[in-house]
Structure 1
Amino acid sequence: MRRTLAVGIFAALTLTACGGQTAAPGAPESKPGESAPAAASTDRTFDTSGVQKVDEIAALVPAAVAERGTLLIGASADYAPAEFRADDLKTYIGYDVDLGRALGKVLGLDAQVQDAEFASLIPAIGTTTDVGISSFTIRPDRLEAANMISYITVGSSYAVKTGNPDGFDPEDVCGKSIAVQTGTWQEEELTDVFDKACTDAGKEKIEILSYARQSDATTNVVGGKAAAFYADSTVAGYASALTSGQLEVVGGIRDAAPQGIVVAKNDAALTEAMQKAMQHLMDDGTWKAILDSWGVEGALETAELNPSA
């Protein structure tokens, strides 16, 4: 996506990136189809115990994965509410995590999260992981490197300290310090579009503070090192809960774009299995119910393979 600077104002057009999955032994149980009892105020885990294996879809899973019995999901587990760690710092939770668990059940597999820095996730797919579910915005460069299956539409937002003490204006970011996660669309947009627009207009450059983990970007806004962070709208909106109200969104949600499950380009069998499993969860309402549990909107109705970005 692209943005331009018009009459000193940035007009928004946005994409995004980041997600994960797994439940912990001994976690509180709940009735199928309902939110599990929260381990913390930020835990809205959806109970997937009612999701059943679909034999005709499970039969599509490559033999090596089926025999292993696990679906290894690459994720950067620091991107609440999509994928992050619960208060015990061990259990992975989030709507992408719940989705991964549900997909695994449809395929007759035990979904397991492999946590890693976001920028390293796609290169690992097909080697150390089977798929990536980590808020990956569908972009041309990613479509060249891997297969992507659309499942949600998400925008981008800025988050600042509550009360906006620095007077951060999303429409005038030149000269401001902005934290962002490395490898995300937001970093690319800040660098290639917004900062370029500032310099082209003869304005002060943006101080872009790039961090391998979104949690570090969030912490540095709370601590005052950055005036704002720029991330998925779901992440920015959830930051208030994670920081006990120390952060708030400013400027609303900028234009949304689809995100996708990532599968290796040369793995046609697993790609088909994942696409059909995702469509099944859309059709039976499970996917929307997962997002409802987390208070998130944007569920897609069609799991499209490699949609144009």
Structure 2
Amino acid sequence: MVKENQMVSSIMGVNTGVIRQNNNFAVLALKIKHPRNKHTLLFFPLVTLKDLLLGLEHRLARQTASAGKSKEEQRKAIDSASKKMHSHLPELTEDELKAADIGQCVDKVELSQYSENDLIFTFSLRRGEMLKLRINEYQIELLVSAIIHAINNADLRDIAFSLSSILDFLPLYDAEFLPDGNIAYDTYLQDEWKQALFARHQALVYHYTDDNGQTQFGGTVIKTRSASGSDEMASISRRVLDYSHRLHKLKGKPCQVSVKDISANPQHKLTLKQCMHSLQLLQRQVKEQQTAK
């Protein structure tokens, strides 16, 4: 049975480190200093670390989108919060990392509440407890920097790059178009809180000519905040190939991609049938365009 701590802990300062196993990334250690000189030491495997960064990156993107006078005020607030957190940096020793308590490993992350000023994450710990942590929006930049710095400092820059490249989209379905007109697909089960971070459903159809001169197709449906036709979406369409089991074989091939907004309503939940139908329609449009050439 999971024991839930109803108290919400806040952050005064953080320190980070990486534990390696056989020279590979095992977990990221996050030591948090709370008010009244209390401390918590948590350990994040890659899966839950990615989920934590996903929630944090969403708020960072909102901050980046602001402009004008509010942008200047925001920068001052971030710098002030960072300075305060630096003054409360908790010590993280090698002995603490060697004596890592597996019960403090975070097995699940949920962004349970968010407001204009704060994010509240709920961490499910391996020991069967739940910890709620409030992160002020002006603390996020330093927290993310501390995480990335720890990974880079452990000479695991490929891990840092991999994490940073999957935070602005959420895969829902991958598909292969079969000769008989049917679709073979994989489903990515994504928590509701993750889907709520992104407003746009996008259908992507990749097409290329194989060695026999035949056009081959693959497709995916993702959620993102980027519009089709944008530079951001073009970047995402390339990075999707790195993480899709069905589409990874296209990486490095001179393929083209067609992107179509399915829905830009954040409250609109699309069914599997709607997503597959959208992929089929987009593939049909691509075929018709090629035939007309």
TM-score, normalised via structure 2 length: 0.25
TM-score, normalised via structure 1 length: 0.24
Higher normalized strand content (fraction of residues): 2
Flag the structure with more relative contact order, 1 or 2, with Cα contacts below 8 A and sequence separation at least 6.
1
Larger Rg: 2
Higher normalized helix content (fraction of residues): 2
